[in-house]
């Protein structure tokens, strides 16, 4: 059975949207199904997605009701197939962390949090990764200016941090 | 400490996953619960971190209890910049990801953009790309070898490697005009055709480098000091590699035959005859062996590219997505209008999202592009191998000695431009 058949047999109408663009299979799911779908992808012996290729945050300000988005790319080394799963998030909605399924999602989640403000519950330490600790705002959001910062100059208080 | 004879007996058969796990447990030292740790900050200015990587280490004597990596010192916000540039303008920025193998990075982005736009790349361009990609792999692995050995205390070998890397950089200079940041790939092909005299020079280098690799192996492979420093250090099994998304040479050193050049062929790799370098012991020593085999295979691929180089254009003529040739822009009004359109508005990409992963020298590099139509992408993400390799240092180094952490960090080949983006 192909990936599409297995996923549709298991989840049916809970897969909100199915798209295939340039042979990339994509499923959109609801935030509440997030954990269950990804656990199934990892555990199911017919899917066997043993590697999380990447977890990406995204911001779509024109989509008013759910401006944030998390995109996950999965790879299976057993079968060599790939899958993309998208979840649209309203502002303030949290997702369960995937660090216990794929530890590599740790830094991806930290990046998604600092860049977009997408909060992951049960993450071991959701701190800023690429920017300084006293950076304000989420710089990859579309409303963040390309030049300059919104919270004043960064690296204001280095005392006690070194 | 086992004698060398016993180790070679153990090596004769590739170890199973259970054996590797047992060996991993044996080589790592456990420390008690109530110990007083000494916290040392290695980096961001430490020479063995190959850039500005910081590892805060908790030590019990010389044993690493915990390791907390800190990155971001080289963060330039490339992905944010990409959202405000046209697709053509992004190509020079990808040079700055992994600056040791810039062409591979250009190539990765162009593959993704071509997938989004549905551009057909002519065969000659595919071959030139394959060749340039392998040249960047040569440059990367030779530099890696020099730096890795220097981290373990040999200064002279670094200079030997730099001398040999220079031959590859000379080829790049001839081909692209730049030694390090080439920006050579274009959407739909490459920037220039092969220059005169390139073929002979390139052939000389690819015939000469395997002899050099034999010399490296003579110096390093059977060197007792290197063997003791690298053998059974930093064992990371295939399961660990999947869990931490460690790809490329460290994954192949763990006995996994996984190479996107074979598994999901791109450019002209489907026509090439080469073997995937695999070793089984998953330690620093085997990562060295994998890279040495890869240099030999890369030389073979470049030779095959030169032998079978097809004739034809070096860039696609698809005017909707591809920049016109500069020569035509100066002479032809239509090409000039097209050029202005591309420079100001960018190519008219369709709406949609794509992800394309390719095998760059350090591992698997993926590019995610979400387009809402128009000349600028709405979101670009570079899924770079160094980002995940840098994250995998703590599970690799816990329980090892402090001096081994340097060897392990070098063996996973992290470049901070690639990591911080």
For domain B78-420, give the fold: Cytochrome-c3 Hydrogenase; chain B (1.10.645)
Rounded Cα distance between A105 and A123, Å, is 10
- pLDDT, tens only, B369-407: 999 888 889 999 999 999 999 899 898 888 888 888 888
Q: Which pTM does this prediction carry?
A: 0.89
Contact B274, B259 (CB under 8 A): no
* Chain A residue with Cα closest to B44: A162
- pLDDT, tens only, A7-44: 888 888 888 888 888 888 899 999 988 888 898 888 88
Give the residue extent of every domain in chain B: 4-70, 78-420
**Best mean pLDDT range from B64-68, B127-131, B221-225, B337-341:** B127-131
- Residues B353, A102: C-beta atoms closer than 8 Å: no
DSSP chain A: --HHHHHHHHHGGGEEEEEEETTEEEEEE-GGGHHHHHHHHHH-TTT---EEEEEEEEE-TTSSS--EEEEEEEE-TTT--EEEEEEEE-TT--EE--TTT-TTHHHHHHHHHHHH---EET-S----SSS-TT--S-TTSTTS-SSS-SSSSS----TTT-
CA angle B418, B28, B2 (to 5 degrees): 115
| Nearest chain B Cα distance for residue A15, angstroms | 18
| Nearest chain A Cα distance for residue B394, angstroms | 12
Query: How large is the average pLDDT for residues B106-122?
Result: 91
Reduced to 3 states (helix: H, G, I; strand: E, B; else coil), residue B350 is strand
- pLDDT, tens only, A39-68: 888 888 888 888 898 899 999 988 888 899
- Say if residue A156's pLDDT is above 60: no
Rounded Cα distance between A35 and A9, Å, is 18
- Residues A129, B71: C-beta atoms closer than 8 Å: yes
- Say if residue B289's pLDDT is above 80: yes
Q: What is the ipTM for the molecules in this complex? A: 0.89
B364 contacts on A by Cβ (under 8 Å): 53
| Nearest chain B Cα distance for residue A30, angstroms | 19
Please report, to the nearest 10 degrees, the dihedral formed by the alpha carbons of residues B349, B350, B352, B354 taken in order.
-50
- Residues B387, A22: C-beta atoms closer than 8 Å: no
Across chain A, what does the average pLDDT equal?
A: 85
- pLDDT, tens only, B16-49: 888 888 877 777 777 767 778 888 888 787 777 7
Q: Give the CA radius of gyration of chain B.
A: 22
Give chain A's end-to-end CA distance (angstroms, integer): 55
- Residues A131, B75: C-beta atoms closer than 8 Å: yes
* Chain B residue with Cα closest to A25: B354
Minimal CA–CA distance to B227: which of B150, B280, B149?
A: B149
Q: What is the DSSP letter of B49?
A: G
Q: Label residue A161 by pLDDT band (50, 70, 90).
A: low
If one compares B155 and B121, the residue with the highest pLDDT of the two is B121
- Residues B75, A58: C-beta atoms closer than 8 Å: no
Reduced to 3 states (helix: H, G, I; strand: E, B; else coil), residue B114 is helix
The residue of B97, B247, B388, B416 whose CB has the most chain A CBs within 10 angstroms, and thus the best one to mutate to test that interface, is B388
Q: Which of A73, A107, A129 sits opposite B366 (nearest CB)?
A: A73
Which pLDDT belongs to residue B2?
Answer: 40
231-270 in chain B: CB under 8 A from chain A: 242-245, 256, 258, 263-264
Which pLDDT belongs to residue A73?
Answer: 92
Q: Which of A26, A53, A130 sits opposite B72 (nearest CB)?
A: A130
- Residues B242, A103: C-beta atoms closer than 8 Å: no
| Nearest chain A Cα distance for residue B13, angstroms | 23
CB-based contacts of B213-219 (< 8 A; 24+ apart in sequence): B213/B292, B213/B295, B213/B296, B216/B145, B216/B160, B216/B161, B216/B292, B217/B292, B219/B157
Q: Which of A22, A54, A60 sits opposite B115 (nearest CB)?
A: A22
Does A93 contact B at CB distance below 8 Å? no
- pLDDT, tens only, A90-130: 988 899 998 988 999 999 999 999 999 899 999 888 888 88
The domains of chain A, with CATH numbers, are 3-121 (3.30.460.80)
Which pLDDT belongs to residue B135?
Answer: 92
| Exposed / middle / buried, residue B197 (Cβ in 10 Å: 0-12, 13-18, 19+) | exposed
- pLDDT, tens only, B41-65: 887 877 777 778 888 888 888 888 8
Q: Which residue is associated with the tokens 């690298």? A: B230
Rounded Cα distance between A29 and A42, Å, is 16
Does A56 contact B at CB distance below 8 Å? yes
| Nearest chain B Cα distance for residue A118, angstroms | 16
Give chain B's end-to-end CA distance (angstroms, integer): 42
- Say if residue A162's pLDDT is above 70: no
Alpha carbon of residue B42 to chain centroid: 24
- Residues A139, B71: C-beta atoms closer than 8 Å: no
Across chain B, what does the average pLDDT equal?
A: 86
* Chain A residue with Cα closest to B363: A53
Does A102 contact B at CB distance below 8 Å? yes
Read off the tokens for B67.
């390791």
Q: How many CB atoms within 10 Å of residue B335?
A: 18
């Amino acid at each position: 059975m192909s990936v599409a058949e297995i996923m549709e047999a298991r989840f049916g109408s809970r897969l909100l949207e199915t798209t295939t663009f340039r042979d990339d299979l994509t499923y959109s799911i609801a935030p509440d199904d997030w954990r269950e779908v990804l656990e199934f992808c990892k555990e199911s012996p017919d899917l066997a997605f043993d590697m999380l290729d990447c977890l990406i945050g995204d911001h779509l300000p024109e989509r008013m009701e759910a401006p944030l988005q998390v995109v996950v790319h999965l790879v299976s080394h057993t079968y060599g197939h790939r899958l993309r799963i998208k979840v649209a998030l309203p502002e303030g909605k949290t997702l369960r962390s995937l660090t216990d399924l794929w530890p590599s999602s740790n830094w991806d989640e930290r990046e998604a949090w600092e860049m977009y403000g997408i909060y992951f519950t049960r993450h071991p330490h959701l701190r800023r990764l690429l920017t300084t600790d006293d950076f304000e705002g989420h710089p990859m959001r579309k409303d963040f200016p390309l030049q300059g910062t919104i919270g004043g100059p960064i690296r204001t208080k280095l005392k006690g941090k070194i | 400490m086992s004698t060398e004879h016993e180790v070679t007996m153990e090596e004769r058969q590739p170890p199973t996953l259970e054996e590797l796990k047992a060996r991993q447990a044996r080589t790592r030292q456990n420390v008690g619960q109530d110990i007083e740790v000494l916290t040392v900050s290695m980096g961001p200015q430490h020479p063995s971190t190959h850039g500005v990587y910081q590892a805060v280490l908790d030590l019990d004597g010389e044993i690493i209890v915990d390791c907390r990596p800190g990155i971001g010192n080289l963060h330039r916000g490339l992905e944010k910049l990409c959202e405000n540039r046209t697709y053509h303008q992004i190509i020079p920025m990808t040079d700055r990801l992994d600056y040791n193998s810039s062409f591979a990075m250009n190539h990765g982005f162009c593959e993704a953009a071509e997938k989004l736009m549905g551009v057909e790349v002519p065969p000659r361009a595919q071959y030139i790309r394959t060749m340039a990609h392998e040249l960047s792999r040569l440059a990367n692995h030779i530099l890696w070898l020099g730096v890795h050995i220097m981290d373990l205390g040999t200064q002279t070998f670094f200079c030997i490697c730099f001398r040999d890397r220079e031959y590859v950089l000379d080829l790049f200079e001839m081909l692209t005009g730049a030694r390090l940041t080439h920006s050579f790939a274009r959407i739909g092909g490459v920037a220039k055709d092969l220059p005169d005299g390139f073929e002979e020079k390139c052939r000389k280098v690819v015939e000469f480098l395997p002899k050099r690799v034999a010399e490296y192996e003579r110096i390093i492979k059977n060197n007792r000091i290197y063997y003791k420093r690298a053998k059974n250090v930093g064992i990371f099994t295939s399961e660990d590699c999947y869990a931490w998304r460690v790809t490329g040479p460290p994954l192949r050193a763990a006995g996994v035959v996984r190479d996107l050049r074979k598994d999901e062929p791109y450019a002209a790799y489907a026509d090439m005859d080469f073997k995937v370098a695999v070793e089984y012991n998953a330690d620093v020593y085997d990562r060295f062996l994998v890279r040495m085999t890869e240099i030999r295979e890369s030389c073979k691929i470049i030779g095959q590219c030169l032998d079978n180089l097809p004739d034809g254009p070096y860039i696609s003529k698809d005017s909707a997505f591809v920049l016109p040739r500069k020569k035509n822009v100066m002479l032809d009004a239509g090409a000039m209008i097209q050029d202005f359109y591309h420079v100001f508005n960018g190519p008219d990409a369709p709406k949609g999202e794509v992800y394309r992963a390719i095998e760059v020298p350090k591992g698997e590099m993926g590019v995610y592009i979400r387009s809402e139509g128009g000349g600028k992408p709405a979101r670009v993400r570079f899924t770079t191998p160094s980002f995940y390799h840098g994250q995998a240092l703590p599970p690799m180094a816990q329980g090892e000695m402090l001096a081994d952490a340097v060897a392990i960090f070098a063996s996973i080949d992290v470049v901070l431009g690639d990591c911080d983006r």
